[in-house]
Amino acid sequence: MCAEYAGFFPERFEEACLIEVQELVDCVLQNKAPGVSAYDGTKSTAIGCAATEAWKTGKIVTIQ
């Protein structure tokens, strides 16, 4: 994960974080799978980090 995102993420996305926590609680209580996986979250973070790096450097960034 890009370290620069860690500081402001909770403040900027407070409502989204609350919705995600509620989804987690609902999944546990109802014994159901979440709508997205850890894989989805990891890949979306990689895409965001690559986009930021490309924007900063002006170069094409390959996502692993």
Who contacts 10 (Cβ-Cβ below 8 Å, separation ≥6)?
Answer: 17
Query: Strand, helix or coil at 54?
Result: helix
| pLDDT for residue 44 | 92
Question: pTM of the predicted model, to two decimals?
Answer: 0.59
Q: How high does pLDDT run on average in the chain?
A: 87
Query: Strand, helix or coil at 61?
Result: coil
**Burial classification of residue 5, based on how many CB atoms lie within 10 Å of its CB (0-12 exposed, 13-18 middle, 19 or more buried):** middle
Closest CA to 1 of 56, 45, 59, 62: 45
| pLDDT for residue 12 | 78
Distance in angstroms (rounded) separating the CA atoms of residues 27 and 36: 11
